[in-house]
Chains A and B, each alone.
Chain A
Amino acid sequence: MSITLTIDGRPVSGRTGETILQVAAENGIRIPTLCHLEGLSGHGSCRLCLVEVAGGGKLLPACVTPIREGMEVITRSERLDRHRRQIIELLLAERNHVCAVCMANGNCELQDLAMEFGVDHLAFPALYPLLPVDSSHARFVLDHNRCILCTRCVRVCAEIEGAHTWDVRNRGIRSLIVVDLDTPWGESTTCTGCGKCVAVCPTGALFEKGRSVGELRQHRPALVALVAGRSTEGA
């Protein structure tokens, strides 16, 4: 069934069950995202895609909010963009994101967003947690210092590959991506070595061995096709 709504003043239409993000994308309206990946279940955790909806008090995440008839959505405003910039700053201050020595330098979604929203300094002190690097796997490396806990790796492994090697341990600021029962990745009994997690990681947290600074490439278009094709969502 067709639903009509407006996004940034533009009348658009979509089908029942579609999200604001999907309809926006279909109409060439870009809403920034980070934890979202088409084909994976929605997480709604990065909060970058929050949009204003007329009549409601709260900001809503476009990636998981279904469209409704007559919805009036605003995707860009001074307030929304200020929130986005601050969220990016919080992320950059949370762990050790040193672009100059990172595999994903120049090819990183977090870096791209920081540039897009004019983050040139941090208003919050960097937390500098002491975090490990797991290079026990034959082909891949996990660097917790670059991880933003978007859980794309968790979701692609559980939902698309079906191995569920990854999950998150602890909670709050102490959350950490974990393999099996906190096993070194190289000793995992569930990992199939498919590399999907590496492919979906938006930053340099997961990368292939043998890559140096700035050499990580994700082949995003091919990835999206793979993920969207394999998933049953939006079918």
Chain B
Amino acid sequence: MQRETLQHLAEERRRYLAGFDHHLLVCAGLGCPGNEEIVAELNRIVKERDLADRVLVRRTGCMGLCALGPLVRAEPDTIVYQGVRSEDADEIITALGREPVARLLLPPDLPFFTRQSKRVLALCGRIDPDNFDDYLAAGGYTAVITALTAMRPAGVTRLIEGSGLRGRGGAGYPTGLKWATVAKAAGERKYLICNADEGDPGAFMDRAILEGTPHAVLEGMIIAAYAVGASSGYIYVRAEYPLAVQRLKRALREAERHNLLGHAICGAGFDLKLEIRLGAGAFVCGEETALIASVEGGRGLPRPRPPYPAERGLHGCPTLINNVETYANIPLIVTRGADWFAGAGTERSRGTKVFALSGKVRYTGLIEVDMGTTLGEIINDIGGGTPDGLALKAVQTGGPSGGCIPADLLDTPVTYEDLGAVGSIMGSGGMIVIDETTCMVDMVRYFMQFCMEESCGKCVPCRVGTVQIHRLLGKFCEHRATPADLETLETLCNLVRETSLCGLGQSAPNPVRSALRFFRQEFLDRMVQPADTPEHNS
């Protein structure tokens, strides 16, 4: 793929798209079921009314406001319709260029749309993920050509280091530093892996990115492979995301067809082969070394670190592992520059972050905001606050490895440091709103059950400790716990956190610790004094 070819294809597609008076974009993500019927019906009516040369119906990725889906957007007037069914197709087409269909209309100034900062998600909901030329028309793959033909690998790494991008999978490790480590590592053969395991319940950012702009991820991977010297790579996708796998497979084929993957990419003497590997339902495989074990065809057992995957990873070779959202940021940084990237966010948490907002909030869905935006802004302004008039109790971030932040700390900015300071973590981006009807003890028991069932079983503290902690939490839920139980609970949390082999065990106690810190009374309320126990009184 040469620059001229790319420009030509992009220009052709742009011309084609501009040739229509109206576009009807239908969200074809997992969160909008029934979208296929809507597309079919719209196309049928367009054909029936002989409008095929004036109205173009396009499928797109997630538009974000899943709570009100299925969504259809009419351009160029940016009319967004909510709760669309195929029966509405007729009215929607009739309304083109006229008064929008009032009963389906979403207010255009909805803070959900106006307060976001879409960068990674900019094309999600704007292009057809299955149409390669759409991605080109929107500027796709220019970053690859720039990187491979106008930059040296070390220069690319320096650019990413300078941007301050931190891993979006949860750990927030400086991406450029990781790349530099892999690039420097000894060894002829190097690998890169995209961690698309997204195991946190409540997180669907990566799913939406893979379904909506798969090429952005591929583009990021190609640039990364070039920078670190990897010639072979895998995209490890969880088995629970069949639609994402399907879109990725197609995107890979298209990229290969256009010499963006394979041999002598873009004539730059750089080879890269990318393959999809399916997960099979194991949260622990989101952990880097467990993921590697799984790619090697084995049980997803984590390995002690050091050595780190950057030095000894897949098949003992230096391996770069990055998250989907991390890779999706790369083409933007290459095209727009490190300064542009750092223009959003804070000093130590630069750029934007995609969040999956769910739970007891009005506008559940997918959002992207500048790092540093407060939780309150996200939940109340963008998310529309809690429905049903119930009071917000807490917001849970970081999934089963994170913590619950109480309502009175909603002014906490969303940055790695600030979330850490209040006992939680950024995590991969799952954000769950909890209202006053949820019991925190039940909530943390739920998370501990998850960790217990997902524990790989290799190390003693996690395998057995999570079971013991879960049992204790059960006693609290049943109002049978004693003060000694509270002490044992805290001791066990300490043990599991400090001695577990991998991140799953190490962070399993986080929800409990966070709840004990901010909602301790709920635990105390569920305790009995020893004098009250039946055994004592019998």
Q: Which residues in A have some Cβ–Cβ distance to B below 8 Å?
A: 42-47, 50, 59-61, 64-66, 83, 86-87, 90-91, 93-94, 123-125, 127, 148-149, 168, 170-175
Q: How far is the CB of A76 from chain B (nearest CB, A)?
A: 15
Report the stretch among B57-65, B165-173, B342-350, B462-470 that lies at the interface: B462-470
Q: Name A's interface SS.
A: loop
Q: How far is the CB of B224 from chain A (nearest CB, A)?
A: 27
**19 CB < 8 A contacts A-B:** A44-B304, A45-B460, A46-B460, A47-B460, A47-B461, A47-B499, A47-B500, A59-B498, A60-B304, A83-B495, A87-B495, A93-B468, A94-B463, A123-B488, A171-B455, A171-B457, A172-B455, A173-B464, A175-B463
Q: How far is the CB of B287 from chain A (nearest CB, A)?
A: 13
Within 8 A of A (CB), among B486-521: 488, 491-492, 495, 498-501
**Please, which residues of chain B bring their CB within 8 A of the CB of A64?**
304
Which residue of chain A is the closest to B488 with respect to CB atoms?
A123
Which of A61, A93, A127, A174 is B457 in contact with, Cβ under 8 Å? A174
Which residue of chain A is the closest to B284 with respect to CB atoms?
A171
User: Residue B452 at the A interface, CB < 8 A?
Assistant: yes
How far, in angstroms, from A44 to B303 measured CA to CA in the complex? 8
User: Residue B458 at the A interface, CB < 8 A?
Assistant: yes
Let me know if A47 and B459 touch, CB within 8 A: yes
Let me know if A45 and B458 touch, CB within 8 A: yes
Let me know if B468 and A149 touch, CB within 8 A: no
Which of A46, A124, A168, A173 is B455 in contact with, Cβ under 8 Å? A173
Which residue of chain A is the closest to B298 with respect to CB atoms?
A167
Q: Which residues in B have some Cβ–Cβ distance to A below 8 Å?
A: 282, 284, 299, 303-304, 306-307, 452-461, 463-468, 471, 488, 491-492, 495, 498-501
How far, in angstroms, from A174 to B499 measured CA to CA in the complex? 21
**Please, which residues of chain A bring their CB within 8 A of the CB of B467?**
127, 173
How far, in angstroms, from A50 to B304 measured CA to CA in the complex? 12
Which of A42, A91, A124, A170 is B460 in contact with, Cβ under 8 Å? A91
Contacts A47-B459, A149-B463, A168-B299 given; does A65 touch B306 at CB 8 Å: yes
How far, in angstroms, from A88 to B327 measured CA to CA in the complex? 43
Further 20 A-B residue pairs, CB within 8 A, beyond A44-B303, A66-B307, A87-B499: A44-B459, A46-B459, A46-B460, A47-B499, A47-B501, A60-B304, A83-B499, A87-B461, A87-B495, A90-B461, A94-B460, A94-B464, A124-B468, A124-B488, A149-B457, A168-B457, A171-B455, A171-B457, A172-B463, A173-B467
Let me know if A171 and B461 touch, CB within 8 A: no
Let me know if B304 and A65 touch, CB within 8 A: yes
